[in-house]
């Protein structure tokens, strides 16, 4: 067996047999399912709370405007007068009291909400809309506009989108593309941070155990570093695979037992809710997914995943080699976290807003951010030359960081005692 | 006897600091070679170059007549000063892993591991983790790891530090036996007295330079200065007179050694003042001579003398 595969095997089994790895692997899906259920439960709990809002409408215009909903009961106390109603509202602990003054001209500035606590943004907006609508309609009627005519003349447009070669896309397909890309990019970032850290810790462990000199009298530091990165990657892939399988099983079980549909809970947009509740839309989603450049997506995912991960983990390995213990790593973390964060922000703001804009394009070509940003752009179909350039630069800089990392690694693993500065790290390159 | 290892004007500097300055050594086959010098002299750097952990800036190293190459790692067993093993790995797995890294195949590694574990009577440690062993026990494992692939050249950096006296002796015997079986051994240490009696060749390194090397007896003959420690039983009445006569005639210093009686004890540096036999005859005229030993300079003395001369 070659030396490299020996090292990979050891690193892999050292990670996988670690107790915390086992606990993390099997407990995390439980925790996640538990969280989903908890959030679902809390959301239901939240929407179950009923509140009463009293209304004192001196103008007499809004009697029909405030209709009760599941959560909110509107109580018209106009005939009691404002002062009595306010006392009553406070005594009976109503959620709030809306006071609409008599004069329609000054009403606009003087309508008020009283309450024990500040009402939610959504509620304020709903109340404002109701009053606005009623007053606007009143104005329209007074100026001789027929409301029915106005209503029937309204037109709603759904722009259908098609590219020059005739492929159709829709808002929903954009949403799906963004979801795919976002998930891939986010996954990569998590993977880099979790497993990059693991590589770093295992380098530090060898240093503090002082076994490093025994090992590198048998193998080249470069082999050791690559073996470490590859072994840890395999452990990571194992963990992810177990998570995916366990996650699917658990969600299925949860759905069957508790009748909770995770898709109808929190984080999804209203569009997603509409999709989940409409069988026609589900088939549409499937069609849209099939229309994605799937092959390109899978290949792109693999290339950027591997390239991006290697790029970062060799930096992590170099950092691990440069320090004596984990607390000293802080000062070197910035160059890793910054581009990752930048990539995620660029991805979620620039790419989803405008996948082929200048910002998205540039960041999907610059190596340190390209894995994440380009992964997010691929579903939107990226021009071939940009892909080629980006992959070329990624491979180039991956080779460079591995070389650079192994240089620092080679020197760093035998240095004990003092915390190096960036300047010293630079000097090590020439040893 | 031909040389197993030849380092030819090896230099290495780190940034502005010169760790080795044109050092050449020759380690004869089957010898025990002492690489001696104070801390920071450059011993470890030289050893790391031999192990191909660092590359020399200039100079060459040859092992068994061939320029040092990657495959030579199998011929070298190295126990670094900083001992260490994977703490949470089981002893057996660890030994097999490290042996395989040295190029043994798994079944061969198992066979040899078994042999050594039986020999050192540590067979029942196989399934334990290193963190469950004591420091001395872990050192035994470290020794097994170092010698298991039957290397031609064994390098021990600070060999006996960390071992209790019993284990140190045990390991010493094992090393001597390995030498009998044909291995060549390099001891590197700053505690020169600890390996002096074991070595037959030495090289002294001081501040990145080799200041002296060769066969130890040869060096010692060079540095002997005709000094003798003597003990003479003299009558009480004549004691003071004899003492003052000897002190005035020879260059002397007080001597201390164990004896049964109340002898007159002196260390006499003859220099070119006649032969030892003449001295012995003279001493006999004072009384019964009970002690007459040539003072052989220790490596430590030689080191200090050489450093002072080179200043």
Measure in Å the smallest separation between the Cα of B139 and chain A Cα atoms: 12
Contact A409, A431 (CB under 8 A): no
Residues B53, A209: C-beta atoms closer than 8 Å:
no
Q: Under 8 Å CB-to-CB from B277, ≥6 apart: which residues?
A: none
Q: To the nearest whole percent, how much of chain A has pLDDT over 90?
A: 3
Measure in Å the smallest separation between the Cα of A367 and chain B Cα atoms: 31
Residues B86, A219: C-beta atoms closer than 8 Å:
no
Q: Is A413 in a helix, a strand, or coil?
A: coil
Tokens at B103, concatenated: 């190029």
Chain B residue numbers with beta carbons less than 8 Å from the beta carbon of A220 are 70
- Inter-helix orientation angle A221-258/A171-209, to 10°: 130
Chain B residue numbers with beta carbons less than 8 Å from the beta carbon of A12 are none
**Can you give the pLDDT at residue A267?**
43
- Does residue A83 register a pLDDT over 60? yes
Give the tens place of pLDDT for each residue, A265-296: 444 444 455 555 555 666 666 666 666 677 77
**Can you give the pLDDT at residue A413?**
78
Architecture of domain B225-295: 2-Layer Sandwich (3.30)
ipTM of this model?
Answer: 0.78
H-helix or E-strand spanning residue B18? strand B17-28
Report the range of poorest mean pLDDT among A239-243, B104-108, B180-184: A239-243
Residues A414, B15: C-beta atoms closer than 8 Å:
no
Range with top average pLDDT, A22-26, A168-172, A262-266: A22-26
Which residues, in sequence order, are bridge partners of residue B187?
B34, B156
Measure in Å the smallest separation between the Cα of A190 and chain B Cα atoms: 27
Residues B53, A212: C-beta atoms closer than 8 Å:
no
Contact B113, B92 (CB under 8 A): yes
Give the tens place of pLDDT for each residue, B218-232: 988 888 888 888 888
Cα–Cα distance measured from residue B21 to residue B11, given in angstroms and rounded to the nearest whole number: 5
CATH number of B3-221: 3.40.50.300
> Average pLDDT of chain B?
87
Q: Under 8 Å CB-to-CB from B160, ≥6 apart: which residues?
A: B168, B171, B172, B194
**Residue among A192, A255, A182 nearest A229 (CA):** A192
Which residues, in sequence order, are bridge partners of residue B20?
B12
- Inter-helix orientation angle A294-322/A330-345, to 10°: 160
Please name each of the domains of chain A with its CATH number. Answer: 53-147 (3.40.190.10), 167-230+292-428 (no CATH)
Q: Per-domain residue ranges for chain B?
A: 3-221, 225-295
Q: Under 8 Å CB-to-CB from B143, ≥6 apart: which residues?
A: B79, B120, B171, B174
Contact A373, A395 (CB under 8 A): no
* Of B20 and A248, the one with more pLDDT: B20
**Closest chain B residue to the Cα of A221, Cα to Cα:** B53
Tell me what percent of chain A is helix, strand and coil, each rounded to the nearest 5: 70, 5, 25
- What B245-254 contacts at long range (C-beta under 8 Å, 24+ apart), as own/partner pairs, is B246/B286, B250/B279
Tokens at B266, concatenated: 């002196």
Chain A with chain B: Cβ pairs closer than 8 A: 64
Give the tens place of pLDDT for each residue, B251-300: 888 888 888 878 888 888 887 777 888 888 888 888 888 889 988 888 88
Give the tens place of pLDDT for each residue, A163-177: 776 666 666 777 777
* Of A260 and A386, the one with more pLDDT: A386
Virtual CA dihedral for A284, A287, A293, A299, nearest 10 degrees? 100
Radius of gyration, CA atoms only, chain B: 24
State whether residue B78 sits within 8 Å of chain A by CB: yes
Residues B100, A6: C-beta atoms closer than 8 Å:
yes
Q: To the nearest whole percent, how much of chain B has pLDDT over 90?
A: 26
Cα–Cα distance measured from residue A265 to residue A252, given in angstroms and rounded to the nearest whole number: 16
- Does residue B1 register a pLDDT over 60? no
Give the tens place of pLDDT for each residue, B187-237: 998 888 777 888 889 999 988 899 888 898 898 888 888 888 888 888 888
């Amino acid at each position: 067996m070659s030396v490299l595969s020996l090292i990979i095997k050891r690193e892999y089994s050292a990670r996988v047999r670690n107790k915390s790895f086992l606990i993390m692997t099997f407990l995390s899906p439980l925790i996640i399912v538990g969280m989903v259920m908890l959030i679902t439960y809390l959301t239901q709990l939240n929407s179950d709370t009923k509140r009463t809002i009293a209304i004192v409408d001196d103008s007499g215009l809004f009697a029909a405007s405030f209709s009760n909903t599941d959560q909110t009961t509107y109580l018209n106390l106009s005939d009691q007068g404002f002062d009595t109603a306010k006392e009553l509202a406070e005594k009976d602990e109503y959620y709030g009291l809306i006071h609409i003054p008599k004069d329609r001209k000054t009403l606009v500035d003087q309508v008020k909400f009283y309450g024990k606590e500040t009402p939610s943004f959504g509620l304020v907006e709903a109340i404002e809309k109701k009053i606005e609508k009623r007053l606007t309609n009143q104005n329209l009627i007074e100026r001789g506009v027929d409301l029915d005519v106005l209503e029937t003349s309204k037109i709603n447009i759904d722009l259908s989108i098609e590219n020059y070669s005739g492929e159709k896309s829709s808002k929903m397909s954009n949403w799906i593309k963004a979801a795919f890309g976002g998930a891939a990019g986010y996954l990569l970032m998590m993977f880099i941070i979790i497993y990059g850290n693991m590589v770093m810790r295992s380098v530090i462990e060898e240093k503090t155990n002082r076994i490093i000199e025994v090992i590198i009298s048998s193998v080249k530091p470069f082999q050791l570093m690559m073996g470490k990165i590859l072994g840890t990657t395999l452990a990571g892939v194992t963990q992810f695979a177990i998570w995916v399988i366990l996650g699917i099983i658990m969600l299925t079980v949860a759905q069957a037992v508790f009748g909770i549909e995770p898709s109808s809970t929190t984080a999804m947009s209203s569009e997603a809710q509409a999709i989940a509740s409409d069988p026609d839309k589900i088939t549409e989603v499937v069609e849209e997914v099939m229309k994605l450049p799937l092959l390109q997506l899978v290949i792109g995912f693999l290339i950027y995943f591997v390239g991006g991960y290697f790029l970062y983990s060799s930096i992590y390995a170099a950092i691990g080699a440069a320090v004596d213990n984990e607390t000293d790593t802080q000062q070197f973390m910035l160059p890793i976290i910054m581009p990752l964060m930048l990539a995620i922000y660029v991805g979620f703001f620039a790419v989803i807003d405008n996948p082929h804009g200048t910002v998205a394009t540039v960041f999907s070509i610059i190596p340190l951010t390209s894995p994440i940003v380009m992964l997010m752009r691929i579903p939107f179909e990226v021009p071939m030359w940009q892909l080629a350039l980006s992959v070329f630069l990624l491979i180039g800089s991956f080779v460079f960081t591995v070389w650079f990392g192994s240089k620092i690694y080679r020197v760093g693993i035998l240095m004990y005692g003092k915390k190096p500065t960036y300047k010293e790290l630079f000097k090590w390159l020439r040893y | 006897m031909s040389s197993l290892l030849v380092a030819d004007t090896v230099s290495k500097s780190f940034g502005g600091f010169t760790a080795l300055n044109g050092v050449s050594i020759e380690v004869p086959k089957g010898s025990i070679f002492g690489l001696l010098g104070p801390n920071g002299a450059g011993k470890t750097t030289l050893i790391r170059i031999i192990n191909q952990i660092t590359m020399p800036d200039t100079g060459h190293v040859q092992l068994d007549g061939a320029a040092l190459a990657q495959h030579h790692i199998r011929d070298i067993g190295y126990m670094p000063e900083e001992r260490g093993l994977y703490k949470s790995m089981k002893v057996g797995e660890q030994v097999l892993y490290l042996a395989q890294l040295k190029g043994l195949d798994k079944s061969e590694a198992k066979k040899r591991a078994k042999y050594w574990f039986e020999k050192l009577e540590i067979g029942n440690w196989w399934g334990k983790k290193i963190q469950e062993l004591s420091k001395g026990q872990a050192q035994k494992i470290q020794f097994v790891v170092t010698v298991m692939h039957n290397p031609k050249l064994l390098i021990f950096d600070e060999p006996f530090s960390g071992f209790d006296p019993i284990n140190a002796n045990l390991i010493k015997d094992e090393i001597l036996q390995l030498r009998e079986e044909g291995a060549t051994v390099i001891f590197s240490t700053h505690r020169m007295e600890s390996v002096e009696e074991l070595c037959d060749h030495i090289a002294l390194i001081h501040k990145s330079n080799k200041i002296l090397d060769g066969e130890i007896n040869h060096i010692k003959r060079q540095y002997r200065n005709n000094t003798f420690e003597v003990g003479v039983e003299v009558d009480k009445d004549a004691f003071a007179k004899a003492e003052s006569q000897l002190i005035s005639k020879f260059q002397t210093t007080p001597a201390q050694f164990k004896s049964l009686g109340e002898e007159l004890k002196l260390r006499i540096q003859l220099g070119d003042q006649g032969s030892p036999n003449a001295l012995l005859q003279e001493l006999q005229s004072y009384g019964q001579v009970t002690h007459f030993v040539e003072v052989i300079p220790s490596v430590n003395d030689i080191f200090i003398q050489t450093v002072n001369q080179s200043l």
